[in-house]
Amino acid sequence: MPIDHRVCWNNTVHIGSLMGTRMESLSDIAVFVQVVQCGSFTAAADKLVMSKSVVSKYVTRLEDRLGARLLNRTTRRLSLTEVGQALFERSRRALLEIEEAEAEVSRLQGEPRGALRLNCPMSFGVLHVAPWLPEFQVRYPEVSLDLVLDDRRVNLVEEGFDLAIRIGELPDSSLVVRRLGPCRHVVCATPEYLARHGVPQTPQQLTKHLALTYRYQDSPNEWRFIAPDGELLQIPMVSRLQMNNSLALRQAVLRGAGIILTPTFMVGADLRKGRLKAVLPEYQVLEVSIYALYPQRKHLSPKVRAFIGFLAERIQDPPYWETEP
Phi-psi region of 243 (alpha: psi -120 to 50; beta: other; left: phi over 0): beta
pLDDT digits (tens, 9 = 90+) for 92-111: 888 878 776 765 665 556 78
- Strand residue runs (E) in 40-131: 71-73, 78-80, 114-120
Residue 239 burial (10 A CB sphere; 0-12, 13-18, 19+):
middle
Equal CATH topology for 15-103 and 114-182+293-323? no
Q: Which of 1-5, 192-196, 283-287 has the lowest mean pLDDT?
A: 1-5
pLDDT level of residue 19 (50, 70, 90 thresholds): very low
Looking at domain 185-286, what is its CATH homologous superfamily? Periplasmic binding protein-like II (3.40.190.10)
Residues of the chain with pLDDT > 70, as a percent, come to 88
The CATH class that applies to domain 15-103 reads mainly alpha
- Top-level class of domain 114-182+293-323: alpha beta
The average confidence (pLDDT) of the chain is 86
pLDDT band at 38 (very low <50, low <70, confident <90, very high): confident
Distance CA 316, CA 105 (A): 32
Map out the domains of the chain as residue ranges. 15-103, 114-182+293-323, 185-286
What pLDDT is recorded for position 74?
A: 77
User: Between these two residues, 172 and 182, which has the higher pLDDT value?
Assistant: 182
Q: Which residue has the higher pLDDT, 182 or 217?
A: 182
